[in-house]
Amino acid sequence: ARTVRCSWVVIVSLGLSLAVLAVYTTVVVVVDLKAPKPCLTEVCVNTASRVLAALNKSVDPCDDFYEFACGGWIEKNPVPEWATSWDQLAILREKLVTDLRELLEDKNDHGLPKSVLKAKALYRTCMDVDKLEVYGTAPITDLLLQLGLPPTPPSVSSDNFSWEQVSGRARRTLGLSVLLSVQVAEDVRNTSRNRVVLEQVSPGFSDRYLRQADKFSFELEQYRIYITSMIKAFHPDTDAERFADDIIEFSKTLAGIMTPVEVRRSGTHLFHELSVTQLLGGNGAPPEWHQHDWQKYIDLVFSNTSVSLTDGDRVIVMDLPYLHRLAGTLARTDPLITERFLWWSVFSTVAPMTRAIFRTLGFEFSRAAWGLRARVDRHKACAANVNANYGLALSYLYVNKHFDEHEREKAIEMIEDVRESFAEAARSLPWMDDGTRDTALHKLRAIRTFVGFPAWLMDTHKLDRHYEHVEVVEGNLFESYLKLTWATVKKSLESLRETPDRNRWVATATTVNAFYSATLNSVTFPAGILQPPFYGNGIEAINYGSIGAIMGHEVTHGFDDQGRRYDSDGNLASWWSRETLEQYQARVRCIVEQYDQYGLPQLAGYNVHGFNTQGENIADNGGLRAALRAYRRHEARAGRAALLPGLPGHTPTQLFFLGFAQIWCGNSTTGALKSKMVEGVHSPNKIRVIGTLSNSKEFSEAWKCPLGSPMNPEHKCVLW
């Protein structure tokens, strides 16, 4: 009996042990199934290699996440000699130009649309630099005479000189805006129609540099040397030094009467809608207004088009005080100075399309002022030129060879994740009242998304019709340029009588960038940017941290300090309650003041301009937050997340933040960095990473940054 009882005890014990083992094994298997696994595809291995190579592991990520994420990349990727800045966007653009060159130089033209053949003809014409030397400067002198300017730099004022005639003809013939800008665009208060829009224009060199001549004396001196050298090369008998001094002094005067960016960006800046009669009559202008023939100027701008302005037409003037000040300035300025300024504006625009000496002098100016060390290869310049003029034709070639339709579908899914994540955050904002929130959510739902390329692009008949009036004179670059600009300006001006196309793309597929349009209330992600390291990285943590954050960035632009002024139809409208707007503006001030404090060690005495960069900073912060929520939505939908080989200790959320930071790894020359700090609307790359992540509670949690550490400050600026 004892033996039997012992046997039963053994059997029961063994059974219990097996049951426990089975339960343990099941738990382990379940846990293992749910645990992130390394992705070992070729794409993931390449992504892992790129991520690891970019790191600087000697830096504490809680001290300086940009240096941690990008230090290795920065050390291994100096700015190339032919560039002034170098980052992931620049690398993709370089790759794009290489792809376009191959497409343009492909000898097989069989079955290609006429528009593509025109693009190839323009490329061949651009590459034929020997022909440019044969034609010499004769095309420049012919053009100057056509516009009403003397064939050589004026030393005395011409008897028949009229700034209205020269500036009006230059706008119509060259698309060149001198002294003021005239264009056709949607009426911002009713985007179902187009209007003529007048506004101020830069005098040809940075107005910020010109207004602070002492601070930027080095750059202005290089500009003076450039003008002097160009004039001497074209016409040695001219007093080039005096000519250059006149251009710079008048440029300073024009910069001084411009409405500063800070004022134009503020909510108190007003634009004016006037009838043509009111505009021509001055509408409260100083007496000097009537010394100028504004009717002649307008008539010449719209000459040789189907449009003739009548008093029934309404004109939107973005900077009426500038126009009034311009009238007084031109009345008081020696006509010779004005004529010289217009002469230089035209000459400096077209001269690089003629003799090599002018391109060489342009490079020497860029080398001295911005740190460029070598000239851009001719094939790169020509491919970029063709892309600027025949971007849709090149897009036809590019997407047929380089774009996968499946990638578009995945990208659209990501955008919808981002949109819903932004909505989820907006629904829980404690500072937004219900009425304003409902309007914001309606606008968010109304944002249209354009991804990859426009569907009609593959219809070769439509593509050819788009370019039917654009002609290339093969072998004559200067004449081709004139014909291209003539047709492009004509088409643009004649759109005044057309209904705006609400479904138009704001960029071609051959663009490495992304866009939000306030008047269209649309986001656009061209095929050019939908590739690594922004997209197609193998694991979604990296994808959502990179292109996902850019998608969030563009969506957030609809609700930044400028975008928030437009409604779901792209009309300028007041749809914010007073209380909510006060709360919004307080949070924006926090961001402005935060970024005002940022500087870079290589540029002592320069800080980020928090006010002028606020729109992009708001978009960076809101975009990252929306992208992280979107990634978590994807994670919940897809189940187990993937890890990268070689980075087993990094969680998917940590990889998300690395994906964000590493798309902004970059280097710049001092000159280029200074220009970005002084007049850019984007913060420098490092600041975009540091500023955004230091406002993210989720970042600090993922990287376990102690409260009060540089990347986890106690006070954070959070808007969206």
Kindly list the catalytic residues.
Answer: 554, 620
54 near 635, Cβ under 8 Å?
no
SS3 labels along 499-510: CCCCCCCCCCCC
Residues linked to residue 525 through DSSP beta bridges, in sequence order: 451
Q: Tell me the C-alpha to C-alpha distance, in Å, between residue 583 and each of 178, 532, 590, 719.
A: 41, 39, 11, 9
Phi, psi angles (nearest 5°) of residue 378: -60, -40
Neighbours of 14 (CB within 10 A): 10
Cross-strand pairs, 127: none
For residue 53, the Cα-to-chain-centroid distance in whole angstroms is 28
Whether residue 640 contacts residue 35, with contact meaning beta carbons closer than 8 Å, is answered with yes
Query: Helix, strand, coil: what percent of the chain each, to 5?
Result: 60, 5, 35
DSSP code, position 55: -
Whose tokens are 């010499």? That residue is 136
Show the tokens assigned to 192.
């179902």
d(CA 59, CA 65): 8
E strand residue ranges, 279-343: 314-317
With contact defined as beta carbons under 8 Å apart, do 39 and 539 qualify?
yes
Do 392 and 505 contact (CB within 8 A), yes or no? no
Give the separation between CA 257 and CA 250, rounded to whole angstroms: 11
* Six-digit token string for 221: 């001196």
Cα–Cα distance, 47 to 40 (Å, whole number): 10
Helices (H), 175-293: 207-211, 217-234, 240-257, 261-265, 276-281
Query: Three-state SS for 450?
Result: strand
452 half-sphere exposure, CB direction, 13 A CA radius: 20
> HSE-up of 697 (CA within 13 Å, CB side)?
6
b vs e for 348-375, b when ≥16 Cβ sit within 10 Å of the residue's Cβ? bbbbbbbbeebbebbbbbbbbbbbbeeb
Q: Where are the alpha helices (DSSP H) in 610-651?
A: 614-638
List 522's β-bridge partners, or say none. Answer: 448, 517
Q: Which residues pair with 272 in a beta bridge?
A: 317
Q: Which distant-in-sequence residues (6+ apart) come within 8 Å of 231 by Cβ?
A: 153, 238, 240, 243, 244
**Please, are residues 475 and 128 in contact by the beta-carbon 8 Å criterion?**
yes
List the Cα angle 424/428/434 in 5-degree steps.
105
Q: How far apart are CA 215 and CA 359, in angstroms?
A: 28
Per the DSSP assignment, residues forming a β-bridge with 526 are: 452
- Token pair, residue 672, equals 């280029």
Q: Is the dihedral of CA 335, 339, 340, 342 positive or negative?
A: positive
